[in-house]
Amino acid sequence: MSTDPATASLTADPYVPGHGDLRYAAVEYDLDLDYAIASNHLSGRTTISLRILLPTSAIELDLSGALRVTGVTVSGATLRRHTHRGGRLTLRFAEELSAGHLLTVVVATKGSPRPMRGPDGLAGWEELEDGVIVASQPHGAPSWYPCNDRASDKASYRLTLACDTAYTVIANGRLTGRRKVGRKTAWTYVQDEPMAPYLATVQIGRYAVRDLPDAPVPVRVAGPPRLGTAIETAFADQGRMIAAMEEWFGPYPFAAGYTAVVTDDDLEIPLESQSLSTFGANLAHRGWEAQRLIAHELAHQWWGNSVTAGLGQDIWLHEGFACYAEWLWSPVAGEASTQERARVHWEQLKRKDQDLVLAAPGAKDMFDDRVYKRGALTLHALRGQVGEEAFFALLHTWGSRFRHGVVSTQDFVALAQEVTGRDLAALFDAWLHQAKLPPLPTL
């Protein structure tokens, strides 16, 4: 029986309503785009190779209404018609497609991209004073390209973007080409490892790119020349951070290495994307507030980008883990001990409302600070109960078994009990499923 095209997408993730379609999975995205900085005009086409998962005669792509669809072609099926309304591009076929059927969809678009509003605020393509930042978590990917916008649908990417020659374009993965196209330069990046749509990004600015020495993987920093010395100083420990995290978590997960982009603008918060992170000029310093966030976004390359929660309710698997990476890095950086960080944040949580359940915080509290800190405390409690060796063995196994995969809280609980050989039901129930804050965990 066919899935109803009017309702199929509504169950993809309740925390990101109206996004994602469970009837198919993307295999590869190939974006060929052209962008004009002065007018904020983006045009081009997106080619999506996909596989049908459920018998259906229709599928939906997520695409902001700020972009106009100028053409759709399909290989592998007969397209009867397409409609673009309410941020959804619906494709209806002349026949029902069976599970396993392969399609190639090409969508041509043009318009002026802008951030999209969701339950947690605005996200997506955003103009800077002189450039662009794309920060799509969790619902902003359709602000600039058509996609199956659910975190559980990871695919490989190839992106070519032509832009004014005075600007540098940075995107996910490895730079494979750069060529002059008239008065513009076209930059091509390839992200071979599968990536969730919200992690796809483009950063555009008048940036200088520098390689950092003494890192276990290729590491680059990019930013405006005026901040060159400040950026190099702020990110001086990037190589040591990666080495430490490889010791704690296992091998760095992306072959292209890691890039940190610092914008010429101040930003309220930094944000990770796959194989790179973006920071505002206000974080180009050696203070702990900047250093902890530099560590936090780097840790997301393991927790969030390689090992990805399929549903928003499990976001603690990203944010709690990255927050705990800050606490692990703190003593290495000559700051407070991990235990002291746990104590301070436990005391702060104790003074806040205790009405949040970590394993199901609700869409409006998806990025509440309590998710970050209680998630980190959950890991600290687990470490205290099972011991150092078993705890870090678990993190290595978590990172390797689910490398580039999609996970849930249930997956982590099951693996923790498997690796440690311990009954951890009471610990996980108290920290993940009860609103009351458990006692301060100690090592």
Give dist(CA 358, CA 380) in Å, integer: 15
Q: Please enumerate in sequence order all residues whose Cβ is within 8 A of that of 58, keeping only pairs 6 or more positions apart, or say none.
A: 5, 90, 91, 92, 93
Give dist(CA 296, CA 276) in Å, integer: 12
CATH architecture observed for domain 308-433: Orthogonal Bundle (1.10)
- Two domains, one topology: 1-201 and 308-433: no
Segment 338-379, tens digit of pLDDT: 999 999 999 999 999 999 999 999 999 999 999 999 999 999
Give dist(CA 291, CA 208) in Å, integer: 21
Name the band, by pLDDT with cuts 50, 70 and 90, for residue 7.
very low
CATH number, domain 207-301: 1.10.390.10
Question: Average pLDDT of the chain?
Answer: 96
What is the per-residue DSSP string for 204-248?
A: EES-EEEEPSS-SS-EEEEE-GGGHHHHHHHTTTHHHHHHHHHHH
Segment 241-290, tens digit of pLDDT: 999 999 999 999 999 999 999 999 999 999 999 999 999 999 999 999 99
Percentages helix, strand, coil for the chain (3-state, rounded to 5) are 30, 35, 35
pTM (two decimals): 0.96
Enumerate the domain spans of the chain: 1-201, 207-301, 308-433
Homologous superfamily assigned to 1-201? tricorn interacting facor f3 domain (2.60.40.1730)
Q: What pLDDT, on a 0 to 100 scale, did the predictor assign at position 118?
A: 87
